[in-house]
Amino acid sequence: MPYRVAVAVSGRGSNLTALVDDLSTDDVARVVLAISDRQAPALAHAAARGIAAHRLDDYRDASEWMRLLDLARANLLVLAGYLKLVPSEVVGAWAGRIINIHPALLPLHGGSGMYGGRVHAAVLAAGDPHSGATVHLVDEIYDRGAVLGAGRVAVTAADTAETLAERVLAVEHRLLPAAVRAAAGAGRPVPFEFT
Tell me: does residue 134 bind ligand GAR (CB under 6 A).
no
Q: Which stretch binds ligand GAR (CB under 6 A): 4-12, 70-78, 123-131, 182-190?
A: 4-12
Binding pattern for the stretch 25-64 against ligand GAR, x by CB under 6 A and - elsewhere: -----------------x----------------------
How many residues are present in the chain?
A: 195
Interaction residues for ligand GAR, span 159-178 (CB under 6 A): 169, 172
Please give the positions annotated as active site: 102
Give the pairing of strands 76-79 and 52-55.
unpaired
Minimum CB–partner distance for residue 115 and ligand GAR (Å): 3
At 47 the three-state DSSP class reads helix
Compare residues 62 and 114 and give the one whose CB is closer to ligand GAR: 114
* CA atoms of 185 and 187, how far apart (whole Å): 6
At 126 the three-state DSSP class reads helix
Work out whether the CA dihedral 91, 79, 10, 32 comes out positive or negative. Answer: negative
* CA atoms of 117 and 60, how far apart (whole Å): 25
Tell me: does residue 116 bind ligand GAR (CB under 6 A).
yes
Residues 6+ apart with CB under 8 A from 139: 91, 95, 145
Nearest to 18 by CA among 37, 48, 45, 41: 45
Q: Which stretch binds ligand GAR (CB under 6 A): 11-19, 28-36, 59-67, 155-163?
A: 11-19
Tell me: does residue 12 bind ligand GAR (CB under 6 A).
yes
Compare residues 75 and 131 and give the one whose CB is closer to ligand GAR: 131
Q: Which helix (H) or strand (E) holds 173?
A: helix 161-186
Binding pattern for the stretch 86-115 against ligand GAR, x by CB under 6 A and - elsewhere: ---------------xxx----------xx
Q: Please report, in angstroms and rounded to a whole number, the separation of the first and last CA atoms in the chain.
A: 28
Among 5, 7, 11, 87, binds ligand GAR (CB under 6 A): 11
Chain residues that interact with ligand GAR, rule: CB under 6 A: 9, 11-15, 42, 80-81, 101-103, 114-116, 119, 169, 172
